[in-house]
Structure formats: C-alpha cells, structure tokens
Amino acid sequence: MTEVVNLTTMEVDALIDVDGGLNLTDGHARLVLTPQQSDIVARIPGMFEEAVRRPFPEIELAAHKAFFEAIGQHSAPVGSGRILSCYSSTLATDIVARALPAGATVAVLHPTFDNIADLLKTRGLELVPLTEEELLAEQWPGAPVNAIVVTLPNNPTGLITPEGHLKSLAEHAVRHNQIVIIDASFRGQVRDAQYDTYAVLDAAGADWITIEDTGKLWPTHELKIGLLAYSERTNLPIEHAFSESLLAASPVVLQLITDLAGDWVDGGYERARELVERNRTVVKETLAQVGLKLADPDSQISVARIELPEAGPDSAVLHKEMLKRGVHVLPCAPFHWADPESGLRFIRISLARPFETVQKAIQTMAEAYKDLTPTS
Amino acid sequence: MTEVVNLTTMEVDALIDVDGGLNLTDGHARLVLTPQQSDIVARIPGMFEEAVRRPFPEIELAAHKAFFEAIGQHSAPVGSGRILSCYSSTLATDIVARALPAGATVAVLHPTFDNIADLLKTRGLELVPLTEEELLAEQWPGAPVNAIVVTLPNNPTGLITPEGHLKSLAEHAVRHNQIVIIDASFRGQVRDAQYDTYAVLDAAGADWITIEDTGKLWPTHELKIGLLAYSERTNLPIEHAFSESLLAASPVVLQLITDLAGDWVDGGYERARELVERNRTVVKETLAQVGLKLADPDSQISVARIELPEAGPDSAVLHKEMLKRGVHVLPCAPFHWADPESGLRFIRISLARPFETVQKAIQTMAEAYKDLTPTS
C-alpha cells in the first residue's frame, strides 16, 4: 500500500520552499498579469470606495451576472438567491459536504482532485468511486448512492463530460432520487465545457448543486470566489451551513471578478489559452526527446498528466528525484483516492506558469527521467 | 423554548436588506477608511507585483511579525511554522474543531458568539458551558473536559480574562491534561487584552491553541486573515486539517495586514478607539433618556450589549419592532448557546460604524422601546 500524503500538503511544501524551487504543483494561475488585467488591478483602491457607496447585494449580483455570462452559463439562477459567494471552491465543497444528510453515500468521479473526496469523508459520508470509463459508458450508480459528484472538466485528466452524458446522468438521478453535484472549477478555461449545464440539469428536473471557481482563471493571488449554486428542488440546509462558515465574500473581490469576467469575454480567454497551449507544446516536445508523452493529449485545462512507461521509474521515484533537483510536481497516486496504486504511473504538472518556468522545469524532468531509466 | 436562528443568518439578512436598513449587526469594521488607511489601500496594485517578486514565506513572515507586535504578543511563535494564515477566524475555528479528537468534550465560555459553539458541535464534539462567573471565580472544569475555549475579550460582553486568571487556567489545564483554546479575535481593539498571553501559556507549560483575527480591526471589506497558532506541545492533526481547507492565504492580503499593523502602532489604534468610544457615548446618552443602559459599562470592544428591564419588552419583541423601523441589531439569545432564554433581556449592537449611522439607529431604538413600554 502506497502511503498517501494529500496533494495540498505537497502544494504547500512547494509554496514555502525557501530554496526557491520551481513550483508546478497547484492549479492556481501563477502568472504575470496581462496589461488588461493590470489595468483592472489598478482600479482596486476605487473598488474600496465603491464597496462603501453601493449596497452589497448590488455588487454581488453584478459579479454573478458577469461571471456566469463569461462562462456560458446563461441558465444559472442569477438573482434568485440560490448562488452563494464563498471564499473559495474548497469552502463551497465543504459547505455541500456538511449539508448532505449524515451517512449518505456519494459516488465521486475517479480519479479526481483528492480534496473533494477528503472533504466528503471528513464530514462522515460514505464514498464509492465512479470511474471515467463508467461515466463515458453512462453506467450510473443506483442505490444506495444518494448523490453523484462529477468534476467538469475533470482534474487532472481534463475529461469533459459530454452534454448528452450529463443529460443521461441527470435523468438517471431523477429516477433514482439522487442529487447531481458538479464541480466546475476548471470550466472557465475551456469553451467545450461551457455548454449550459444549468439548462441541461433543469430540463431533466434534477436536484442539482454546482460549484464554480474564479481561482483557476486569473492570477489574483487568492483574491477569488467559489460560487455555490443549487436548484429550486434542493432541500438541503445549504444556507445554514453557509452561515456557519462565513457572513459574506468580499465586495472588493466581487468587483474584481466583475471586471476580470468582462476582460475574459473581451480577449482575455484567448490570451490565457494561448499561454497554456504554448506551455503544453513545450512540455510535449521536450518530453518526446526522452520517450515520454502526455497521458491526455486532448486535455485543454491548465494542468497536464505525464504517463510513465512501466519499464522506467514510477512517479514516486521520479517525484523524489525532481525534488532533489529543485522542481515540485505532483505524483498522481492521491488523485486515485479509492485506489492510489492505479495512479503510480502518472505525474501532474501545472501549465498556468510563465513559459520560462515550465520550460526549465520540464527540461529538468526530462533529464531526471533519462538518468533514472536503464538504457536498453 | 425560544427558537434560535444563528446570529450570522441575521447578519446576512441585514447585509442583503435591499431597503437599505441601518446595519448594526456584525462586528466587522464597516467604516470609511482613515486617510492613513487610504494611503495603504492605494498601494494594493503594487502589492500584486510584490507578490510575484517576493517568495510567499517571506511575505507571510513579515505579516506575522508586524501583526503580533502590533497587538503585544511578543512571545507568539512567529517564524516557527506554528502560525497558519487562514481566510478568516471562522475557518481557523473550524480547522481546530476538525483537529480535536472525535467525541472530545469541550468547555466553552457562556455566553459567547454562537458560531464557536456551532462549529464545534457540527464536528461532533460534546459541549459544556463555562460561565463568565465561573471564569472570574477560577472554577475550571475537570474531567471529562478535554479542552477549554475562552474568548478574550469575550464577545458580546467585552469581559477580559485577567492575566492571573489565564495563568490559573493554564496551570489547571496542565494538571488535567486539557488543551487551552483562546479565541482572541477582538484582542487587537483593546490594550488591556494585549498582555502577552503566549508567554503566560508557555510559562505554565500548557498545550494551547490561539486564534487571532485582523477582520475586527480594519475596514478592509473582508480582505482579512484569521491566524491559527499552536504550542510546541500540541499534538493534533492541525496542519492536515488546514491542508484540507486551503493552500494559502493571499500574499496581497498579507502585505495589506503588514502595512495596516504598522499604522496601528503609529496612531491607528487611537484613531479607531476614539470613534468607537464616541459611538458608545452617544448610545449611552440616547438610551439614558428612555431609562435604558449598557449591560457592560466597562466593555471596550466595538460591540455593546443593552439590557432591557423586566418590565418592558424583551429583546425578541424589540428586535422585531426595530426591523419594522429599518434597523438591524442582534437579540442576544443565540449568544447564550446553552440556555437561550437567559439572553432574552439583551440586545447587541455594533459600534464599528460611522457615527451618524449609530446615532440614527440608536435614536430609533430609543423611540421603539418607548412606544413598546407601558407608561407607569
């Protein structure tokens, strides 16, 4: 049995590395601001004044409108009172975990970011895995599953649940009296994931909860919002759980989101995509020189998995060697929360970094891999 | 039995009141920035650049140094790795609640802000009340209590646990193998609460956890940090619980804290105190005209309790009447988390508001009280 440290702990270690190692761990956007984003950040002092002048609900509503429009979610319940602004998507997930009935059984996509499974387990819920293969085959779990959690796009694989599959899941869930929970934290990065999921879920008559995130889109140094939306049918004590966790998000951050969402539809999306794809290309080309390749060549999100052939070192060994050489990446075992061994041949890297950082780090990875692999 | 809605829910209602009612509910500083604070906020865009240039641990350490110095906590474990920066003090409290052993019994000060008790109960802990009278008489609980939570200064009463009493508590806890947990969220507001509690706790050899907060000090619209510090003896999975909740606080907010703490020792404390005391005076004088008075005349924190005589309306009735007149305050029953009835004769108001807001709201309260009270 592989000993599993959670992914965030490794991300914290990378963040506090006093030797200044290269950090390709977390999926947060760690980029220099674009000129357009810099102009917005320059307006923050004025947002403080605005936060005193304008009523909070008005500021929050404007942010919800701008953000959901920017990511194609035209049927999101903006203005209904069923969208809660949290400090982060993690906090939104924990609020959902707390609001679910004690002892409920939850099917969770596998693999996916371990924090989702951890937060649910810590609140005493029973978990069963739903593999990506089962999702693609529309093999949805029945009783005793009370809720089904899908990450869309999935992290780390980038898999986007197709619209027809989501419809099938929603209809299944209605028949089996299950709640559909969508973690769409990476959605803003990928147009293909921006079909109107709220319309699909509502058309099926589903009881749904959705989590959206601004933290993966913009390099705002943790000034972000996790949004928790839920359907009219949802009958869980979500507002009560919210009130235990916070009073309100920051009206300054909400204004920042409004403006960044405006930039996102005005070329910001394309500017961010270009950088990520340039980084993905250098990763692909550099690794090809030592016979390594991307595990998910079609993935469009800002993280990528690298597959390690059985003949060479596994991810635990390569991860350790890269740490020695001053590069932080994530071994994938913890993403496989129900079966860590099955993630041993994968490494996850973040592409939301300056080009030079990714280039240098991946060069180090290629060298480390070569040194660890017996010549045939 | 009084039906108890949690306090934060009432604070949320006040915040989203679209009719623009006066909000004296939450203890957050809702003030116009002083000129000195405005100058600091104007530097935020530069803090974004700095967050890219400087390593995170350096930025965080500077904030911890400045903040703990500004509030007199010279023995806090700054630089030891035993201070965690969280999004809020609520999140810090939840992290502690999660890290405490499942099923532990916790003594919690009574009355105090209901959120503390709620977060502990939600994590499955058993609670017993520790009254302020017991605290002042140094009657500390023995077995089966595993941890003792004291709010210092207490919210809503403003009671400051004297240094000798904290020493007595710490020594008692060592003898009984208990953890001392201090919620010092309001400490920054009051010099008398700024004796070096870390020195007292460490001198006794106690196993302690302390929560500090910047959110009650500065009108930064929820750009704040809750700090979770713990003793070298503390053997709970606090770091693991932290990693389940967040990766890191914002380096921009940490820089903001550093500068605001600098201003705090450079006259900022006195400027804030002056405003709060001016507000307390207008409350006292206006209420005296209708025979009402402050329940805690010696309290120095930015909230105040008003006592309602048995002859007149109780707080539930007065609260409802004030809502009709567009003023939001907090009835105190929920602060008395173990015995809501005992809080029925108290109303809590926040003084961290512009003078005109407090003056107008308290005038409305005096009128409402007069109209509800039978003339003798």
> What is the per-residue pLDDT across A123-164, written as a single tens digit (0 to 9) for each?
999 999 999 999 999 999 999 999 999 999 999 999 999 999
Provide the pLDDT for residue B5.
84
Whether residue B166 is predicted with pLDDT greater than 80 in this model: the reply is yes
Express each pLDDT in A235-265 by its tens digit: 999 999 999 999 999 999 999 999 999 999 9
* Residue B305: strand, helix, or coil: strand
pLDDT-above-70 percentage for chain A: 99
Nearest chain B Cα distance for residue A28, angstroms: 10
Which of chain A's residues have a Cβ under 8 Å away from the Cβ of B260?
A: none
Name which of A11, A118, A124 is nearest B244 (Cβ-Cβ).
Answer: A118
Whether residue A4 is predicted with pLDDT greater than 70 in this model: the reply is no
Round the average pLDDT of chain B to a whole number and report it.
Answer: 96
How far apart CA B182 and CA B160 sit, in angstroms, is: 12
State the ipTM, two decimals.
0.96
Task: Kindly state the average pLDDT of the residues A346-365.
Answer: 96
Name the DSSP letter for residue B126.
E
Which of chain A's residues have a Cβ under 8 Å away from the Cβ of B8?
A: 243-244, 246-247
Nearest chain A Cα distance for residue B63, angstroms: 15
CATH superfamily of B7-33+267-372: Aspartate Aminotransferase, domain 1 (3.90.1150.10)
Name which of B15, B38, B44 is nearest A247 (Cβ-Cβ).
Answer: B15
- Contact A245/B94, CB-based, under 8 Å? yes
Which of chain A's residues have a Cβ under 8 Å away from the Cβ of B243?
A: 6, 8-9, 12
B35-262 CATH pick, 3.40.50.11900, 3.40.640.10, 3.90.1150.10, 3.30.450.20: 3.40.640.10
Q: How far is CA A79 from the centre of its chain?
A: 25
Q: How far is CA A191 from the centre of its chain?
A: 15
Alpha-carbon distance values, A307 to A27, A288, A311, B108 (Å): 19, 12, 12, 52
Nearest chain A Cα distance for residue B161, angstroms: 26
Name which of A6, A94, A250 is nearest B223 (Cβ-Cβ).
Answer: A250
The terminus-to-terminus CA distance of chain B in angstroms comes to 30
A/B interface, count of CB pairs below 8 Å: 130
Provide the pLDDT for residue A19.
76
Whether residue B376 is predicted with pLDDT greater than 90 in this model: the reply is no
- Contact A247/B87, CB-based, under 8 Å? no
Name which of A51, A221, A250 is nearest B251 (Cβ-Cβ).
Answer: A221
Whether residue A18 is predicted with pLDDT greater than 90 in this model: the reply is no
Express each pLDDT in A71-124 by its tens digit: 999 999 999 999 999 999 999 999 999 999 999 999 999 999 999 999 999 999
B218 contacts chain A (CB < 8 A): no
Alpha-carbon distance values, B125 to A329, B119, B121 (Å): 37, 9, 5
Task: Kindly state the average pLDDT of the residues A34-39.
Answer: 97
CB atoms within 10 A of CB B322: 24
A42 contacts chain B (CB < 8 A): yes
Provide the pLDDT for residue B4.
57
Asked whether A75 and A231 are in contact (CB, 8 A), the reply is no
Task: Kindly state the average pLDDT of the residues B95-124.
Answer: 97
Whether residue B354 is predicted with pLDDT greater than 70 in this model: the reply is yes
Asked whether A149 and A107 are in contact (CB, 8 A), the reply is yes
pLDDT band for position A3 (cuts 50, 70, 90): very low
Nearest chain B Cα distance for residue A82, angstroms: 13
Whether residue A173 is predicted with pLDDT greater than 80 in this model: the reply is yes
How far apart CA A18 and CA A24 sit, in angstroms, is: 15
Alpha-carbon distance values, A341 to A133, A323, A344 (Å): 18, 21, 5
- Contact A246/B94, CB-based, under 8 Å? no
Name the DSSP letter for residue B222.
T
Which of A230, A115, A240 is closest to A179 using CA atoms?
A230
Task: Kindly state the average pLDDT of the residues B273-295.
Answer: 97
Asked whether B315 and B329 are in contact (CB, 8 A), the reply is no
Please provide the DSSP assignment of A225-273 as one string. Answer: -EEEEE-TT--S-HHHHHHHH-S---HHHHHHHHHHHHHIIIIIHHHHH
B247 contacts chain A (CB < 8 A): yes
Provide the pLDDT for residue B17.
82
Nearest chain A Cα distance for residue B266, angstroms: 22
Express each pLDDT in B171-209 by its tens digit: 999 999 999 999 999 999 999 999 999 999 999 999 999
Positive or negative, the CA dihedral B44, B50, B52, B55 is: negative
* The two three-digit tokens of residue B252, written as one number: 């921009």
Nearest chain A Cα distance for residue B206, angstroms: 27
Provide the pLDDT for residue A367.
97
How far apart CA A364 and CA A255 sit, in angstroms, is: 40
Task: Kindly state the average pLDDT of the residues A294-304.
Answer: 97
Q: How far is CA B280 from the centre of its chain?
A: 18
Asked whether B311 and B375 are in contact (CB, 8 A), the reply is no
Express each pLDDT in A206-229 by its tens digit: 999 999 999 999 999 999 999 999
CB atoms within 10 A of CB B165: 18
Domain with CATH 3.40.640.10 in chain B: 35-262
Asked whether B232 and B199 are in contact (CB, 8 A), the reply is no
- Contact B247/A41, CB-based, under 8 Å? no
> Which of A125-139, B12-26, B38-52, B296-310 is predicted with the least confidence, judged by mean pLDDT?
B12-26
pLDDT-above-90 percentage for chain B: 93
Express each pLDDT in B251-268 by its tens digit: 999 999 999 999 999 999
Name which of A41, A118, A250 is nearest B45 (Cβ-Cβ).
Answer: A41
Provide the pLDDT for residue B255.
98
Specify the residue for token string 């939850």: A106
Domain with CATH 3.90.1150.10 in chain A: 7-33+267-372
Please list, residue by residue across A278-309, b when 16 or more beta carbons sit within 10 angstroms of its beta carbon and e when fewer do.
ebbebbbebbeeeebebbbeebbbbbbbbebe
Asked whether B163 and B200 are in contact (CB, 8 A), the reply is yes
How far apart CA A320 and CA B138 sit, in angstroms, is: 53
Whether residue A21 is predicted with pLDDT greater than 90 in this model: the reply is no
Instruction: Specify the pairing of strand B83-86 against strand B226-230.
Output: antiparallel
